[in-house]
Amino acid sequence: MLRVRSLPFLDELMQFQARGRARARFLLRFNHVPAWQPLQRLVSLEILPSAAGLRNTELAAVSFACHQLRGPECQSRAHTAQAANENPLTRYHPPPRGPFRPSTAPSLDPGSHDGNAKGKEADSVPLVIPARPDTFRRCTRSPFPCTSVCKLYQDVFAEKEEIRENVTSPEKPEEAKLGQTNFWKFGCFFHHRLTMTMQEIHAEVQLKNYGKFLEEYASQLRRIEDALDDSIGDVWDFNLDPIALKLLPYEQSSLLELIKTENKVLNKVITVYAALCCEIKKLKYEAETKFYNGLLFYGEGATDSSMVEGDCQIQMGRFISFLQELSCFVTRCYEVVMNVVHQLAALYISNKIAPKIIETTGVHFQTMYEHLGELLTVLLTLDEIIDNHITLKDHWTMYKRLLKSVHHNPSKFGIQEEKLKPFEKFLLKLEGQLLDGMIFQACIEQQFDSLNGGVSVSKNSTFAEEFAHSIRSIFANVEAKLGEPSEIDQRDKYVGICGLFVLHFQIFRTIDKKFYKSLLDICKKVPAITLTANIIWFPDNFLIQKIPAAAKLLDRKSLQAIKIHRDTFLQQKAQSLTKDVQSYYVFVSSWMMKMESILSKEQRMDKFAEDLTNRCNVFIQGFLYAYSISTIIKTTMNLYMSMQKPMTKTSVKALCRLVELLKAIEHMFYRRSMVVADSVSHITQHLQHQALNSISVAKKRVISDKKYSEQRLDVLSALVLAENTLNGPSTKQRRLIVSLALSVGTQLKTFKDEELFPLQVVMKKLDLISELRER
């Protein structure tokens, strides 16, 4: 019976324990004064109108809290006051600060509460709680209003009377003894929990203080270092720097290691497409660093008058090996273009009987078409370089004449005749493949349909629709920013779009007249595009030449208007150069001041994310200014050269000022390269964190939907792959995999419209910041 009747009492003890913890948390806020002083101040300010109603067990709990804050000395004070039957809460003035005599700690034995007249007298003192807590005065040392304090103590003391009745006035003496024993056990348990809580609070406070100390100490050391250093700030000498650092992350993991999900089919699709895109990037890098420069600089350094007879043939003979490497490079590009088309056609199958690899409804691998456009741009650029290189063609003609002379009398030159014929065939192959301006045309005229019953391309209507849809999507994104201040790489993508459009026409033999006209209308805004160095490309000439059937659909007036607009554009640009120089001078000067200010300012931990966002925007803004100025310089100068028009003195001065501004931006990034390199790593992590948050929201939305389908499984696998890939360095391979994965993960309205656009902006910023030094 006793055990059964004591159960309600234990529940009440648990309630008392919870309120005791709340009261202890309040008392612990006064850790900057002696332990007895805050309790005394509460009484003096009438926050606790009567403290005589506190029992010995409650005072013991307060004593334990004081011991955790101030050590045994404060505990000894509280014990001394209680041993003298003097409640420390009723004293107004603090005791003298002399040495304390050792005193006996209050007994926690349940028997000490039995028959104690003074204890009963203390119990009989009524607890006075005002009706309106908001009438109390504010405690000057308390970090929160006294109304909250009063509410806390009202809850604690309201329950105390009810618990006291169960402990001091039970129905039977056995229940009283059991209740007092449980009350004593509660005090020990409360002390243990209070100790653990205090350790956690102290650890957190000390950790914050230690972090602040490290920040202050690091900033102090930095100021001392700057004061003793000869240079102003962390800058590098632009002229005396012997070593150039390439600050780009290098991916050591292979694509097979990065692309790992439970969806094996999706893994294969993403792996194949990622490998092709990486191959295209390598080919483009090789063309830009090796073959473009090799062709452009051929014949430089010597004039025709200074060359001795026979030097041209010798120079071309040494250049044959380079042309052979270029031939192998072009052949590899043809193979990659063929492979990309076959892989895309195999995914988008129009045959309803044939099984699908994955569900492609709503899946658009726009990244694949963008990379394919970049490779077509490389082939197109090689054609333009060779076509505009008069010296190369002249030397080639002279070298062929030399071979004819050698062919008539090979013994005179010490050459065997049987070796001469294969060499002549090789030269004919080089001439037909490279020097006749057919590099791009030969690529798009390949036999894309498999002859052995493999992939069907030209008759695949689903693939044709997807191809056209991807071209329109890329063009819509490019058209909006082409010619605007926020333009970055839209001109290069426009060249790729024209190449893709010609390839689509060559494969499927269908043409969209409206889209063709839209491509030509861009020429009014951008009449010419610089491919590389001084090689300028006119999109209207390219489209008319490669698709003559489409040109016949347009009237001659519209075609002539494009050429007339080219002259008008150059005149307007020459007139506005002076105004452009003044505007960009203000813009670049303001940007340089922002750059100096934001990089010199010490980063605060409480505003670290905001500071990273500001630095990211400033870096990108400087890159936009550099791109805009560079585009004006190259387009204007190349148009003057290609159209053979004289340049005025004012235009020359304005272009020189623009070159100075461009070099100023480069110099600013170079001078602050140490700080920029440190900031870029933090900015990329911050952008990756933002992208991960967006993807996580979409993934939870997919998981919450209980309907199962293979398409939903592909979406979830793609989002998981994007998350796993973003958890690492921001390398080209990882960003490529994320882009391909999101092509699958954005179907089924996984992302809302207001979520998808910010994610695309973050990924674009991540690309720019990660390749800041390379660009």
**Rounded distance, CA 319 to CA 399, Å?**
11
Q: Degrees (nearest 5) of the Cα angle 376, 379, 380?
A: 85
Q: Is residue 160 part of a domain?
A: yes
Token couple for 401: 């004449």
Region 719-737: what's the mean pLDDT? Answer: 95
Helix (H) or strand (E) holding 532: strand 529-532
User: Does residue 400 have a pLDDT over 70?
Assistant: yes
- Same domain, yes or no: 311 and 454: yes
> Does one domain contain both 634 and 500?
no
Q: Average pLDDT, whole number, for the chain?
A: 79
Amino acid at 195: T
Burial of 441 (0-12, 13-18, 19+ CB in 10 A): middle
pLDDT of residue 297: 94
Tell me the C-alpha to C-alpha distance, in Å, between residue 690 and each of 181, 610, 666, 743.
56, 13, 29, 18
Q: For residue 641, which of 541, 735, 570, 730 has the smallest C-alpha distance? A: 570
In this structure, the answer to whether residues 299 and 371 fall within a common structural domain is: yes
pLDDT by residue (tens digit) across 602-619?
Answer: 777 778 899 999 999 999
| Confidence bin at 136 (pLDDT 50/70/90) | very low
Instruction: Give the residue-averaged pLDDT of 670-687.
Output: 90
How many structural domains are present in the chain? Answer: 4
How far is it, in rounded angstroms, from Cα 78 to Cα 95? 11
Residue 500 has pLDDT above 70, yes or no: yes
Instruction: Looking at the structure, tell me whether residues 666 and 711 fall in a common domain.
Output: no
What is the rounded distance in angstroms from the CA atom of residue 24 to the CA atom of residue 7? 26
- Do 109 and 185 sit in the same domain of this protein? yes
More confident residue, 169 or 301: 301
Q: How confident is the model at residue 128 (pLDDT cuts 50, 70, 90)?
A: very low
Rounded Cα–Cα distance for residues 716 and 700 (Å): 9
Of 99-113, 125-139, 142-156, 157-171, the range with the highest mean pLDDT is 157-171
Q: Which of 549, 537, 506 is nearest to 338 (CA)?
A: 506
* pLDDT for 283: 98
Nearest residue to 434 via CA among 552, 533, 295, 530: 295
Q: What whole-number distance in Å separates Cα of residue 700 and Cα of residue 1?
A: 53
- Gap between the Cα atoms of 33 and 290, Å rounded: 75
Contact criterion met (CB below 8 Å) for 129 and 154: yes
Q: What are the tokens at 505? A: 């026409």
CA dihedral (446, 448, 450, 455) in degrees, to 10, reads 170
DSSP reduced 3-state for 52: coil
- Residue 205 tokens read as 């406070």
**pLDDT over 70, % of the chain:** 71
Is 589 in the same domain as 479?
A: no
Do 71 and 165 reside in the same domain of the chain? yes
Q: Cα 652 to the chain's mean position, in Å?
A: 41
User: Are residues 189 and 146 part of one domain?
Assistant: yes
Picking from 617, 600, 612, the residue whose alpha carbon sits closest to that of residue 681 is 612
8 Å CB contact between 273 and 737: no
By C-alpha distance, which of 722, 700, 749, 709 is closest to 358? 709
Which tokens in the block code for residue 298?
Answer: 């051929």
Question: Each residue of 621-640: pLDDT tens digit?
Answer: 999 999 999 999 999 999 99
Confidence of residue 192 (pLDDT cuts 50, 70, 90): low
pLDDT of residue 678 exceeding 90, the answer is no
460 and 589 housed in the same domain: no
Does residue 565 form part of some domain? no
DSSP assignment letter at 130 = -
In a domain, 524, yes or no: no
Nearest in space to 543 (alpha carbons), one of 487, 503, 483, 586? 503
Q: Count CB neighbours of 48 within 10 A.
A: 23
Strand partners, 179: none
Confidence (pLDDT) at 432: 95
Is 170:176 a contact under the CB 8 Å cutoff? Answer: yes
Q: Is residue 572 part of a domain?
A: no
| Length of the chain in terms of residues written | 775
pLDDT for residue 210: 87
**Residue at a domain's end among 512, 542, 559:** 512
Burial of residue 315 (CB within 10 Å: 0-12, 13-18, 19+) is middle
Tell me if 550 sits within 8 A of 516, measured CB to CB: yes
Q: Would residue 163 count as lying in a domain?
A: yes
- Assign 535 to helix, strand or coil: strand
- Helix or strand or coil: residue 237? coil
Q: What is the pLDDT of residue 106?
A: 40
Residues 301 and 429 in one domain: yes
Q: Which domain holds residue 139?
A: 2-195
Pick the last residue of a domain from 628, 655, 671: 671
Token pair 């102003």: residue: 232
Rounded-to-integer distance, Cα 488 and Cα 482, Å: 9
Contact 545, 383 (CB under 8 A): no
Q: Which of 139, 122, 143, 165 is nearest to 48 (CA)?
A: 139
What does the pLDDT average to over 96-121?
40
523 inside domain: no
Q: Are 341 and 454 in contact (CB under 8 A)?
A: no
Domain end, chosen from 633, 649, 671, is at 671
pLDDT digits (tens, 9 = 90+) for 524-545: 899 999 999 999 999 999 999 9
Sort 716 into a burial class: Cβ within 10 Å, 0-12 / 13-18 / 19+. buried
Phi/psi for 87 (5° steps) reads -70, 125
pLDDT for residue 58 = 44
Nearest Cα neighbor of 673 from 756, 599, 762, 747 is 599
Contact partners, residue 353, CB within 8 Å, separation at least 6: none
Whole-angstrom CA distances from 10 to 6, 20, 40, 56, 180 are: 6, 15, 32, 19, 11
Q: Tell me whether residue 568 is in a domain.
A: no
- pLDDT for 514 equals 92
- 719 with 617, same domain? no
Q: Are 460 and 349 in contact (CB under 8 A)?
A: yes
Distance of CA 726 to the CA centre of its chain: 9
150: its two tokens: 């009063």
Whether residue 693 sits in one domain with residue 606: no
C-alpha pair distances (Å), 686 with each of 249, 622, 732, 735: 16, 20, 17, 15
Average pLDDT over residues 234-254: 72
| Residue 567 belongs to a domain | no
Name the more confident of 769 and 302.
Answer: 769
What is the reported pLDDT for 191? 53
Q: What would the pLDDT profile of 77-95 be if each residue is shown by its tens digit? A: 444 444 444 444 333 344 4
Q: Is the pLDDT of residue 330 over 60?
A: yes
